[in-house]
Amino acid sequence: MSSRISRLFIVALFTACAATGALAAGKTKTPAKSSKAAALPSLVWRGDYATARGVVDDVAKAWEKSGKGRIEIEPFNTASGLDAVAHGMADVAGSARGSAGGTETDLQFMPVAYDALVMITHPSNPATSLTPKQLHDIYYGKITNWKDVGGKDSPINLYAVASPGDGVEYSLRRLLFGRGNQPVAAPRLYVNTAKLEEAVTLDPNALGVTTLSGVATNSKVKMVSVNGVRPSLATVTDGSYIFYTPLYLVTNANSPKAALIQQFMEFLHTDTVKALARQHQLVPYSDAPELAANDTARREKILADIGIKMQVEPTPAPPVLAAPGATYASASATAPTSERALEARQAVESRKAAAASGETHKVAKGETLSTIAQKYSVTVAQLKDWNHLSSDNLKADQVLQVSGN
């Protein structure tokens, strides 16, 4: 098996749905099934089209060989995969983020591994390392030239994945801003991280985020260190590389196939699968309890270094199904569901901190004084007073003071 196919397996297994949108149009060609295989109970997996081929080629074969069942692959995208599981049209999906609430509230996000969130640029770019503060300011639109972060005098072309529900983008923004749905100054949007990676290979000034499992062997892009620490299996395992995220398999406790799903989840915790995960720079979740234990302190320190004064509440540690005597039903009863309430509180604190620090706001197309005032928890009258405005009219890219300091 080629290293590319093998790497696709593990991404499909754990991250499953880093992609969004356009790739959903196709279907993978499912190999002909023997009569014995056809008689096995099946699970429907829906996720990213490209990585699904890895599941078909590797995990599905291993699962079928075990004699416990088979997997029907329906390549699609993140949001559709989660929606399908929520509505009983699929049994398993995947995500590089926790639940965002809404229709996802009743789903169980079970962690299976940690992957590094990796900033990538073109190999010719002389910049080698960025700090969380620098990345925050780049994504916020305050730093726009590579010369300000150790590179040449060239604009930073920031790339991002279009979908706000993309797990990789969501997890990075949660680290940098305290909330995963933070808008960013990224004019170049792509349907998934694979397309983003391709674009970076063509642009010496590009910067974007993907996963270590996705680019560990890709010599056409350059991984940027964070605080001087290079992303790797070792630096994620010991916590010295601070940009990492849990990867989840997502299921529905009300599924009539709950028993089969439990068996599949336990299969993913076998030594064979965990060894394969490490080969592709993923840290098995059950092998790194200290990462979960230190998660709150890690996020608090990142935000403090950036200068965001915000109380970070601990994220409940989901159960691991591999525990002796554990069952899918009992585990799902205690699994966390949504981060919506936490992010709502964090958003309020972020706006208060921005106002207290005298921070400015660049007006985006379509924004009004009313929407900006609401964002920073101030009044329209205050904005007009601080910025000496005689009317409510605003122009795109106009810079406003959002506090009276």
Per residue of the chain (405 residues), give pLDDT as tens. 444 444 544 444 544 433 333 333 334 444 455 555 567 889 988 765 434 443 435 667 777 888 888 888 776 666 778 888 988 999 988 778 877 777 677 888 888 889 999 999 999 999 999 999 999 999 999 999 999 999 999 999 999 987 656 788 888 999 999 888 888 999 888 877 888 999 999 999 999 999 898 888 899 999 999 999 999 999 999 999 999 998 888 899 889 998 898 888 888 787 877 877 787 788 988 889 999 989 989 999 999 999 987 666 555 555 444 443 444 444 444 444 444 445 555 555 555 555 455 568 888 887 888 778 777 767 777 788 888 888 888 888 888 888 765
Residue 43 within a domain: yes
State the pLDDT at residue 39.
72
Say if residue 197 is exposed, middle or buried (CB neighbours under 10 Å; 0-12, 13-18, 19+): buried
Could you identify the residue written with the tokens 């923004």? 173
Query: What are the residues whose beta carbons fall under 8 Å from the beta carbon of 6, sequence distance 6 or more?
Result: 54, 58, 276, 279, 280
Residue 300 within a domain: yes
Residue 341 within a domain: no
CATH number, position 136: 3.40.190.10
Residue 278 within a domain: yes
- Name the DSSP letter for residue 319: P
CB-based contact 94:17 (threshold 8 Å) = yes
Residue 267 within a domain: yes
Residue 351 within a domain: no
State the pLDDT at residue 67.
86
CATH number, position 362: 3.10.350.10
> Do 75 and 14 lie in a common domain?
yes
Whole domain around residue 212: which residue ranges? 116-232
Domain count along the chain: 3
> Do 106 and 39 lie in a common domain?
yes
What letter represents residue 366's amino acid? G
Domain boundary among 232, 255, 287: 232
Domain boundary among 207, 232, 257: 232
> Do 68 and 48 lie in a common domain?
yes
> Do 51 and 108 lie in a common domain?
yes
Longest CA–CA separation in the chain, Å: 77
> Do 198 and 281 lie in a common domain?
no
CB-based contact 287:274 (threshold 8 Å) = yes
State the pLDDT at residue 110.
85
> Do 9 and 104 lie in a common domain?
yes
Query: What are the residues whose beta carbons fall under 8 Å from the beta carbon of 85, sequence distance 6 or more?
Result: 46, 91, 92, 93, 107, 250, 251, 252
Q: How far apart are CA 162 and CA 165, in angstroms?
A: 9
What letter represents residue 200's amino acid? V
> Do 255 and 331 lie in a common domain?
yes
> Do 90 and 121 lie in a common domain?
no
State the pLDDT at residue 15.
46
State the pLDDT at residue 33.
54
Domain boundary among 232, 258, 286: 232
> Do 7 and 95 lie in a common domain?
yes
> Do 126 and 106 lie in a common domain?
no
What letter represents residue 1's amino acid? M
Helix (H) / strand (E) containing 95? strand 93-95
State the pLDDT at residue 331.
46
Residue 160 within a domain: yes
Residue 93 within a domain: yes
